[in-house]
A and B are shown apart, each in its own frame.
Chain A
């Protein structure tokens, strides 16, 4: 706990340690963005305007990372299905089902042995049932822990794939609009402005 606190303090203080003096010449240098000609400056502006026009569309189509993680919290792999990563979603979902089923089976088995242990009257039987119940319980705990680990990984991976999905979505929209601007026609290449 102490280590974590120390790390957080370092993260906050680090930029201040290496902060440089504010240089107005550098700050207001008109060549800092490499607009070395009026054309390149206007070109940048045009490109930014083009991308700005895509913001609304992107906002409507993008996946909310928090909401997608919540879905994966409730049903593992659900967030992956939303991002069209079906295989990973299926693997995670089936792994969680198998682990949950196995845990339930082993827990049930341990309870059954435990009941038999309670109802047994002979010392050998008592030892045997207790040992079996204990062994099954340990196995059930292990699979339950695995279930939690996979569930946790499922949440982390949902975050990663949702982010990737959103990044790809932006690029796809940009490509789509660019292709609308530049079209191959029977008369040659047509460029819309």
Chain B
């Protein structure tokens, strides 16, 4: 009989042991249900500290949170906000956080009656910074922003708060509400920024600031865009002045991105930039730098693709290349004919070459070939013609002058030789002489005439003096 009793006690203890932990949790739960929250919290705290079972711990933590919440509700119903705030904080749940904010807002109402602005703002700041996951934070951010604007008119601070609100809660209805306040001073802010552009310095920074402003919703989005566009145009114009056309093009296009109404002006200016490329190309073409010219024409396409003027210019440059090449061939042909003494044919070929490529070299060749043809006909007459036409007939006038002076002094005693040509025209040169003989003195005037290039060289000091060399 005694053995049976021992066996029953043993089995009972065993079952007691088996259900021991569960009973601790259930005991704490029953304390919670009975409304003895502080004791329940203490029991849950103990259980959480000692239990090795995560399930039980989790249940206990949830129940503890509920106990704190219920206790906080009691404290709040007794208007003990300080305690309620602490207990809601310890409850650490979304529901508790909302009630916590309710407590703070009721405190704020009290501060408002005392006009305690600092404490109101501190409370808003606390909620915003410490309970930032609450869905009511945007609302509080709006209240803070509104208060700062109305009480202190601190526009930079208001703008910073607005940026923070929009960055964190772009979809919030309080962004729109805050925008009404922002709109009151944003235009002035934009105008102050834009005013700096008059100095024509730091334009990039102004654009950067305006783009930053544009990120945040306001009623001045279009206004900001137009201002950004204007500054890009200003930058582009500066680029044109410094001949950085590619960058000018980029800036013009950026200007269009912000304001499409500038399309006509930008297109006109882009065309003008293209024309600058074309003009520069033309000047290179005039200098016979055909590849460089084409390269410049091509640069116009980076600004206006299929730009017809550039296409025409390239075609013209290619034609010019062909003409120069052909002119060179003709020149070589002319030189061949010259060597064969076929001067008339050579002259024709040079003229044709000159029509294709009016170079100084070809011009000189034509001039010389004309002279050679005349030398061939009558070298002496041509030499005389050269000396008579030399520098508008200066030699003929001086000789006549000398003669007049001598006749005046000596009368009929003066004898003159007239123009005498000495030498042959084989080397395209001839010496021309004119002598005066007086009783007192003799004047032997002598020049060498290079007939091919129609140049005259004085051969003595007298003739040198006569033509002033």
Q: Which residues of A contact B (CB under 8 A)?
A: 4, 22, 24, 27-30, 32-33, 35, 38, 41-42, 44-45, 48, 51-52, 54-55, 58-59, 62, 65-66, 69, 152, 155-156, 159, 163, 166-167, 170-171, 174
Q: Is B185 an interface residue (CB 8 A)?
A: no
Q: Is B59 an interface residue (CB 8 A)?
A: yes
Number of contacts between A and B (CB, 8 Å)? 73
Q: Is the CB of A30 within 8 A of B58?
A: no
Q: Is the CB of B92 within 8 A of A55?
A: no
Q: Once the chains are docked, how many angstroms separate the CA of A145 from the CA of B87? A: 58
Q: Is the CB of B14 within 8 A of A159?
A: yes
Q: Once the chains are docked, how many angstroms separate the CA of A69 from the CA of B83? A: 47
Q: Once the chains are docked, how many angstroms separate the CA of A9 from the CA of B290? A: 115
CB-CB under 8 A from B19, the residues of chain A are 65-66
Select which of B55, B65, B133 is within 8 A of A58 by beta carbon: B55
CB-CB under 8 A from A159, the residues of chain B are 14, 17-18
Q: Is B53 an interface residue (CB 8 A)?
A: yes
Q: Is the CB of A152 within 8 A of B10?
A: yes
Q: Would you give 13 A-B contacts (Cβ < 8 Å), ordered by A? A: A27-B38, A29-B86, A41-B89, A42-B133, A45-B94, A48-B58, A52-B62, A54-B58, A62-B55, A65-B18, A66-B18, A69-B15, A156-B17
Interface set, chain B 313-337, CB cutoff 8 A to A: none
CB-CB under 8 A from B198, the residues of chain A are none
Interface string of B1-41 (1 = CB under 8 A from A): 00000000110001101110110000000000000001001
Interface string of B60-94 (1 = CB under 8 A from A): 01100100000000000000000100110110111
Interface string of B159-191 (1 = CB under 8 A from A): 000000000000000000000000000000000
Smallest CB separation, B390 vs chain A (Å): 92
Q: Is the CB of A155 within 8 A of B92?
A: no
Known contacts A24-B83, A27-B38, A155-B14; A38/B55 CB under 8 A: no
Q: Once the chains are docked, how many angstroms separate the CA of A88 from the CA of B21? A: 24
Q: Is B223 an interface residue (CB 8 A)?
A: no
Q: Is B410 an interface residue (CB 8 A)?
A: no
CB-CB under 8 A from A59, the residues of chain B are 55
Q: Which 5 A-B pairs have the closest CB atoms?
A: A170-B54, A28-B86, A51-B58, A38-B130, A159-B18
Select which of B21, B52, B58 is within 8 A of A52 by beta carbon: B58
Q: Is B443 an interface residue (CB 8 A)?
A: no
Q: Is the CB of A55 within 8 A of B59?
A: yes
CB-CB under 8 A from A152, the residues of chain B are 10, 14
CB-CB under 8 A from B10, the residues of chain A are 152
Select which of B53, B58, B61, B131 is within 8 A of A166 by beta carbon: B53
Q: Is the CB of B38 within 8 A of A48?
A: no
Besides A41-B89, A48-B61, A167-B53, 11 new A-B residue pairs in contact (Cβ under 8 A), listed by A number: A28-B90, A30-B90, A35-B92, A38-B130, A42-B133, A45-B94, A48-B92, A55-B58, A55-B59, A62-B55, A167-B52
Known contacts A24-B83, A28-B86, A66-B19; A45/B92 CB under 8 A: yes
CB-CB under 8 A from A24, the residues of chain B are 83
Q: Is B129 an interface residue (CB 8 A)?
A: yes
Q: Is B419 an interface residue (CB 8 A)?
A: no
Q: Once the chains are docked, how many angstroms separate the CA of A62 from the CA of B53? A: 12
Q: Once the chains are docked, how many angstroms separate the CA of A84 from the CA of B13? A: 26
Q: Once the chains are docked, how many angstroms separate the CA of A75 from the CA of B53? A: 27
Smallest CB separation, B360 vs chain A (Å): 71
Known contacts A38-B132, A52-B62, A55-B55; A45/B93 CB under 8 A: yes
Smallest CB separation, B104 vs chain A (Å): 14
Q: Once the chains are docked, how many angstroms separate the CA of A137 from the CA of B10? A: 26
Smallest CB separation, A156 vs chain B (Å): 6
Smallest CB separation, A83 vs chain B (Å): 14
Q: Is the CB of B18 within 8 A of A170?
A: no
Residue of B nearest to A155 (CB): B14
Q: Once the chains are docked, how many angstroms separate the CA of A22 from the CA of B37? A: 13
Residue of B nearest to A42 (CB): B133
CB-CB under 8 A from B89, the residues of chain A are 30, 41
CB-CB under 8 A from A35, the residues of chain B are 92
Smallest CB separation, B17 vs chain A (Å): 7
CB-CB under 8 A from B14, the residues of chain A are 152, 155-156, 159
CB-CB under 8 A from B58, the residues of chain A are 48, 51-52, 54-55
Smallest CB separation, B2 vs chain A (Å): 11
Q: Once the chains are docked, how many angstroms separate the CA of A32 from the CA of B90? A: 9
Q: Is the CB of B18 within 8 A of A69?
A: yes
Q: Once the chains are docked, how many angstroms separate the CA of A159 from the CA of B18? A: 6
Smallest CB separation, A89 vs chain B (Å): 18
CB-CB under 8 A from A54, the residues of chain B are 58
Q: Once the chains are docked, how many angstroms separate the CA of A62 from the CA of B92? A: 28
Q: Is the CB of B55 within 8 A of A170?
A: yes
Smallest CB separation, A154 vs chain B (Å): 11
Q: Is the CB of B18 within 8 A of A171?
A: no
Q: Once the chains are docked, how many angstroms separate the CA of A114 from the CA of B93? A: 76
CB-CB under 8 A from B131, the residues of chain A are 38
CB-CB under 8 A from A52, the residues of chain B are 58, 62
